[in-house]
Amino acid sequence: MINCAENWADLDVAPSSLVFNLTPPTEEAGSAWDHFWQRARLFSADERACIVEFLELADAIERVDWASVGKQPPMNRVARTLEWWRGFGR
């Protein structure tokens, strides 16, 4: 996560892959959810706070990237993931 945050533009698909792996399944049931939950619950409160900060950065970078070509993101890929991690443990 640190490397992605510090070298976003130089890492090709690594930042997007990290966001993908932090994204919970849309359904909170089934094997995909079970697999995600087994990993997600291992993070400490401090680690979850870092995940939220990383996802906030990812969201900001995506917005700036689209704005650089005069457009809005067609969909906010990070928003649902960010909201889930913000609400984790509450």
Sole residue written with tokens 């990290």: 18
Tokens matching residue 69: 């070509």
Distance CA 28, CA 68 (A): 36
Domain ranges, residue 74: 2-87
| pLDDT < 70 stretches in the chain | 89-90
User: How high is the pLDDT of residue 71?
Assistant: 84
Sole residue written with tokens 């939950």:
37
Smallest CA-to-CA distance from 86 within 22, 13, 1 is with 22
Number of domains in the chain: 1
The pLDDT value recorded for residue 67 is 86
